[in-house]
Structure 1
Amino acid sequence: MKMEEMPTLPQDIIIEILIRLPLKTLLKFRSVSKSWLSLLSDTQFHKTHINFSINNPKFTDYTLAAVPTVSGLGKICQVYTISSVNSSVIVSKHECPSKTLSLSAWILGSCNGLICLTTDSFNLMVLNPCTGKFNVFPDLNIEYEVGDGGVHVSYGFGYDSYAEDYKVVKMFSFPRIDDEGRHVNMVSVYSLKGSSWSSIQGFDSGHVNGNVGVFANGVLHWEGCYDYVLGGVSLEIVTLDLATERYGRIALPRYEGRGIRWRLGESRGRLVACCNCESNKADMWVMKEYGVEKTWTKLVTISSPDDGRVNISPLFVAENGDEVLVKLGTEVTLYNSSNASFKRIVDYVSGDFLQVQVATYLESLASPHV
C-alpha cells in the first residue's frame, strides 16, 4: 500500500505558527531546509515576527543585557530573560549570546532586537546579540569653538519605518559664548541603508540632559531642558521623529522645586519616566496613550535604600506596576511595591560596581545590514 504524502500547509499558516515560536527554536529551524532558511532570512518575515512580538506584550519575553564594570574585573556581560505574569516580573539568568557586548565602551540604545554600541576604537556598531551578526561603521566628530561650558554629546538609535532604515543620531550641544544659558545644537544622522552621516537642523534654545535617547513609537526621546522659558527653566521631553526628522516636545508631569532629575525608559511599547524628586525617592510614571500628556499615570513611588542621592532609571514595568525593574545608581534591581523590597539582579564574583550599562530588548532575527 502506497503511503500517502503529508499535506503541505499554506505559507501564510506556516508563518503564523513560526512567529509564535521562541527565537532559539527559529534559529534551529534555519537548518531544516533551504526553503526554511530562505523564509527565516527574509526581511519581511523579520518585520512580521517583530510586529507580532510588539503587539502581543503578554506573550512576549524580553531580554536584559547588562554590562557592569567591576573593580578589579573589568567589563562583564550578563544576560537575563524578563517575563511578566500579571503583577510579577520574573528575571532569570540567560547565557550570553555574544562576547561583543563585553567589549563595548557604551551602549547607545536598542530597537527591534538590535543594540547600538561603541567599540574600543572610534567606531560604532549595531549588533544582533541573538544571531551574532553586526555592522561596524565610523563614529562622527566635528570641530567647533567650545566655550567654558564644554560640549555635551548624546546619541539615539531607532528605526525609520517609512524608509525601512535603522538610524543613529548624534547630538553636540554647546553653550553659546555670547548668550549665557542658551545652547547651540548640532545634530547628525547615520543611515545604515545609506552607510553615511548627514546633518540635520538642530532644535532651538534647549539641550538634552541624558546621554542616550529612548526609542518608542517611531520617535526618539531625551530628557530635555529649555532655558529661559517664562524667566526660568522648563523640563520637557525632546523628541525626534526619525521618518520626518522633525523635533517635538512632550510635557512631563509637573513638579515644584529645584534639583529634579528625570530618567526615561520604554517598557513593552510604552514611554516610562522616572522623576528623581528627592535625595532618595523617585516617582515612576507611564504614558498610557502615546502623545496624550493627560494620560501620564503614576505607578509607584520608590524609596532608595541608600542614604545619598541615587538616580533611578526605569527598565521594565509589570502589567499593573506592582513590580518594576530599575537601574538604581550602579545596580540593576527589582523593586516590589507591595513590601517596598529590592532584589539585586546583576551579580558578580567580587569587587564593586564602578558603572553598569543596560539595554532591554526583544529577541529577533533582524539584520544590522539593511
Structure 2
Amino acid sequence: MVNTRPRTKKTRNQSGALIASNDDLLIEILLRLPLTSVLRFKSVSKNWSSLLSRQPFTLLYKNVSISPGFYVRNMYIPFDVENQIALPICNLDIHPHPCSIRIVQSCNGLLLCCSKHGIQGERKYSVLNPTTRQIALIPSVLGGRKVHKNIRFMGLAFHQTECVDYKVVCFHRAKPDEDMFRIQIYSSETRRWKISDESFSFSAPYYESLGSGVYWNQALYWAPFSINPLYFKIDTEELQSLSFPVEVAVESLGDSPHGAMPLYFGGSRGHLHLVLKANRSETHLHLNVYEMLNDRSGWFVKYRVDLDELLNSYPEISTCFYEFQLLDVVRGEEEDETFMVIRIPGNNIIRYDVANKSGKQIYDLSSFIDGPINHAEVHRYIETIVSV
C-alpha cells in the first residue's frame, strides 16, 4: 500500500539537511541560481561559503562570463543603460585607500589596483573582485625599495580554467640607468614573489612604464608597441616575439607617422584583437579588426567595419576626427552580438553594434572628464565569483 500521509515538518527538515550535506547535489541546485542569489547564499554557513568560492563550482557556474560594463578612471559605465545588470560595487570604496587608488588592469573579472601611500608615497598593489567585494593586498616585490622604485610594469594573469591561481607579473629595471629588465612573479597559491630566470632589454626613458597588460592564451602582452614586441608566457616563464599584420609597418610602432597605427589592442571571450584604420583618410571611418590565431602564428581580418554612418548621427566626428577613440571591442556570446565602445568628440561614449551597424550613446562623460581617455584608463568589468 502506498503511503499517502503528508510529509511532516520533521521529514522536511531531514530532507533539507540531506540536501545541505550533499555537496554534489547542492552544487547542481546552486548552479541554476542567478549571481545575486549565489553571493547571498555565501553567508549561510562557512561550508557554503567555501563551497561557492572554490573549484569545481566556480568553473561550472554559467554566469561568470557576463560583461555588463567597464570602468573609466575608476568610474563604472554600463554597456546597456536600458537593461543594467546590478553591480555590487560601482566604485572602489572597499579599498583601504580609496582616494589614491587607480585600476592598472582588468583580467577576466579581477582588477589589479595600485595606490600610493606610506613612506614617500610608495605604490601598493592589490587584486580586487568587484562582484564579491573581496580584496587581496599584494606584498612588496623582492629587493626592497631599491627594486620597487624601478618598477616599469605590473600585469595580472587570471583565467577560470587555464590560470586558476592568479599571478602578478612585475618588470623592473636591473639598474636605473640600464635597459635590462628583470622579471618577478607573484602567485596567489603561494602568496609569494619569485624571481624568474628570464630577462630582456627594452629601450625606454627611465620615467616611462611599459603600459597596461593584456592577458590572453596563457601569456601576458603589454603596450606600447615596440620595434621588437614581446609577450611573456606564464606557464613556461618564457619571452617570445610577437608578430603583427603586414599593414603595421615597423616604423609605425615608434614615432614615425608611416604605416597603420593601431587603434586598439585587447582581448575578449578568448580572442585577441588588433584594430587598424583601413585607410589614411581623415573623413572616413573604415576599420579592420584583426584576430590572432590560437597558435599565435599570425592574424586574420575578423571584421571590416564601416563607421561612416555614425557621421550622420554624430557630425561632430568629421570636424574633430582626431578625438575619435576606440576604447573596447566586446565579443558577444553569439557572433552577431559583438560591439565596439567608442568615444567621440565631447566625451560621449557610443556603443556600436557590428552586425546591425547601429550606434547609440550610453554615457556622457563631458562633466567628469576633459580631453582624451588613455587606453590604460579603460578596464572591462566581468562578473566572476572566484575568491581572491
Give secondary structure in 1 for the equivalent of 2:33. coil
Q: In the alignment, residue 240 of structure 2 is paired with which amino acid?
A: G
Deviations 1:192-248 (A, max 9, x none): 344443333223567799611111222212246454xxxxxx5x5x32122221122
CA-CA distance at 1:29 after TM superposition: 1.8
Counterpart CA distance in 2 for 1:152 and 1:325 is: 32
Counterpart CA distance in 2 for 1:105 and 1:34 is: 31
Higher helix share: 2
Counterpart residue number, 2:304? 300
CA-CA distance at 1:351 after TM superposition: 4.8
Which of 7, 14, 23 is residue 3 of structure 1 equivalent to? 7
Counterpart residue number, 1:73? none
Shift in alpha-carbon separation, 1:351–1:264, aligned structure 2, 3 A: closer
CA contact (8 A) 2:51 2:57 kept: no
Counterpart residue number, 1:27? 39
Counterpart residue number, 2:239? 247
CA contact (8 A) 1:185 1:202 kept: yes
Counterpart CA distance in 2 for 1:222 and 1:79 is: 24
Counterpart residue number, 1:214? 214
Counterpart residue number, 1:270? 271
Counterpart CA distance in 2 for 1:152 and 1:39 is: 37
Please say which structure displays the higher CA radius of gyration. Answer: 2
Shift in alpha-carbon separation, 1:331–1:167, aligned structure 2, 3 A: farther
Shift in alpha-carbon separation, 1:353–1:120, aligned structure 2, 3 A: farther
Shift in alpha-carbon separation, 1:177–1:37, aligned structure 2, 3 A: closer
Counterpart residue number, 1:170? 170
CA-CA distance at 1:134 after TM superposition: 0.6
Counterpart CA distance in 1 for 2:322 and 2:135 is: 40
Shift in alpha-carbon separation, 1:241–1:96, aligned structure 2, 3 A: same
Give secondary structure in 1 for the equivalent of 2:186. strand
Question: Higher RCO, 1 or 2 (CA under 8 Å, sep at least 6)?
Answer: 1
Counterpart CA distance in 2 for 1:136 and 1:362 is: 20
- 1:6-85 equivalences in 2 (<5 Å): 8=18, 11-33=23-45, 35-41=47-53, 43-49=54-60, 60-68=65-73, 77-80=75-78
User: Does structure 1 residue 283 correspond to structure 2 residue 288?
Assistant: yes
Counterpart CA distance in 1 for 2:47 and 2:177 is: 62
Aligned residues: 330
Unaligned runs of 5+ in 1: 55-59, 69-75, 83-88, 228-233
Counterpart CA distance in 1 for 2:323 and 2:235 is: 38
Counterpart residue number, 1:99? 91
CA contact (8 A) 1:215 1:266 kept: yes
Counterpart residue number, 1:72? none
Counterpart CA distance in 2 for 1:79 and 1:316 is: 14
Q: In the alignment, residue 70 of structure 2 is paired with which amino acid?
A: A
User: Does structure 1 residue 199 correspond to structure 2 residue 200?
Assistant: no
Structure 1, 126-135 or 193-202: larger mean CA deviation: 193-202
Q: In the alignment, residue 248 of structure 1 is paired with which amino acid?
A: Q
CA contact (8 A) 1:240 1:247 kept: yes
Shift in alpha-carbon separation, 1:276–1:36, aligned structure 2, 3 A: same
CA contact (8 A) 1:191 1:197 kept: yes
Shift in alpha-carbon separation, 1:91–1:244, aligned structure 2, 3 A: farther
CA-CA distance at 1:321 after TM superposition: 5.5
Give secondary structure in 1 for the equivalent of 2:289. strand
Counterpart CA distance in 2 for 1:205 and 1:271 is: 23
TM-score between the two structures when normalised by the length of structure 2: 0.68
Counterpart residue number, 2:314? none
Q: In the alignment, residue 253 of structure 1 is paired with which amino acid?
A: P
CA contact (8 A) 1:252 1:293 kept: no
Q: In the alignment, residue 251 of structure 1 is paired with which amino acid?
A: S
Identity rate of aligned residues, in percent? 23
Counterpart residue number, 1:114? 110
Deviations 1:166-214 (A, max 9, x none): 2212224699989xxxx53333323334444333322356779961111
TM-score between the two structures when normalised by the length of structure 1: 0.71
CA contact (8 A) 2:266 2:273 kept: yes
Give secondary structure in 2 for the equivalent of 1:126. strand
- 1:173-192 equivalences in 2 (<5 Å): 183-192=179-188
Counterpart CA distance in 1 for 2:209 and 2:262 is: 9
Q: In the alignment, residue 288 of structure 2 is paired with which amino acid?
A: D
Unaligned runs of 5+ in 2: 118-122, 250-257, 311-316
Higher strand share: 1
Q: In the alignment, residue 291 of structure 2 is paired with which amino acid?
A: V
CA contact (8 A) 1:97 1:130 kept: yes
CA-CA distance at 1:164 after TM superposition: 5.2
Counterpart CA distance in 2 for 1:302 and 1:107 is: 32
CA-CA distance at 1:307 after TM superposition: 1.8
Give secondary structure in 2 for the equivalent of 1:293. coil
Give secondary structure in 1 for the equivalent of 2:133. coil
Give secondary structure in 1 for the equivalent of 2:7. coil
